Amino acid sequence: MGEGAVGKTSLVRRFVLDLFSDDYLMTIGAKVMKKELTLRDGGTLFPITMTIRDILGQKGYAGVQEAGVKGAQAVLLVYDVTQDDSWRALEEYWIPIVWRLVGKIPLVFAGNKVDLAPDKTYTKDVLGYLEQKYEARGFLRSTKTGENVEATFDQLGRAVLRSLDEPVTRIAQPTPPVKAPSPILAVTDKIMTDFCAGFGGLETGMNVVRQQFEKAGVDVRTPTKEGLLRVVDLLSEIEKSVKPLDVVSSNRLKRISWMKALP
């Protein structure tokens, strides 16, 4: 998890063989990937299959983000070392979502883009602060060098192994509540989550959502009413292949009614 453009997708892509390119597109929703690895802990080897969800970092998509984090056993929190706002957002926005919805599961920090860091001491101090405050490990990395990618995911796996027997505590309101996003983002978020709920859940649904947003030419950062209408129609077309027509039609009308209230 982490803000938009901090390097989440680049980091995951370095680790897994990712066949779907989204070079020209922000990650929409949550992209799910799998990776098999073996962890050595003490003298024992543990074969692990990691399911990694690359979650949309854009503010305003709480529904999609919350669906993405449910069931997580650990979270990799990614920030951009050249943007102080990006690690502050981990504290203010992302960690509270995790604590509230999943509980105190293991966290690992990844400070990305160290190749661009102007002040290495400051960069190390920020990571040290986060590690100490959240009792977590952290790594600095860069796509240029590729170093610390394996170590980061290795640490995630180890943290999960160690936490398996421990009860998870949830925190109801860890920080002040987050303000509602712009109305159009809220509706976009609602349409995405609604479609996925009726289309096999996040894993299946989001692949379709991603394709249809792309087809409609809608940027999730700046959706317009016209663009959203195209998305709603495209999603209806997809639903026609698996749902009765009356359901497809009522879904479409419901989504359009959400948009009607928009300015």
Which residues contribute to the site for ligand G3D (CB under 6 A)?
Answer: 2, 4-10, 27, 57, 112-113, 115-116, 142-144
Q: What is the Cα–Cα distance from 255 to 189, expressed in whole angstroms?
A: 11
List the single partner that 116 binds among ligand G3D, Mg ion, none, CB under 5 to 8 Å by kind. ligand G3D
Report the residue from 9, 58, 207, 251 that binds Mg ion according to the rule CB under 5 A.
Answer: 9
Contact between 27 and Mg ion (CB under 5 A)?
yes
List the single partner that 96 binds among ligand G3D, Mg ion, none, CB under 5 to 8 Å by kind. none
Specify the residue, 55 or 234, whose C-beta has the smaller distance to ligand G3D: 55
User: Residue 90 Cβ, how far from ligand G3D at the closest point, in Å?
Assistant: 12
Count of residues in contact with Mg ion, rule CB under 5 A? 3
Specify the residue, 30 or 130, whose C-beta has the smaller distance to ligand G3D: 30
Torsion angle, alpha carbons of 183, 220, 197, 258, to 10: 30
Rounded alpha-carbon distances, angstroms, from residue 79 to 4, 28, 90, 108, 113: 9, 18, 8, 11, 9
Q: What is the Cα–Cα distance from 214 to 207, expressed in whole angstroms?
A: 11
Specify the residue, 158 or 210, whose C-beta has the smaller distance to Mg ion: 210
User: Residue 111 Cβ, how far from Mg ion at the closest point, in Å?
Assistant: 17
Match 């949830």 to its residue by tokens: 170
Rounded alpha-carbon distances, angstroms, from residue 1 to 9, 35, 37, 68, 107: 10, 18, 21, 10, 10
Residues in contact with Mg ion by CB under 5 A are 8-9, 27
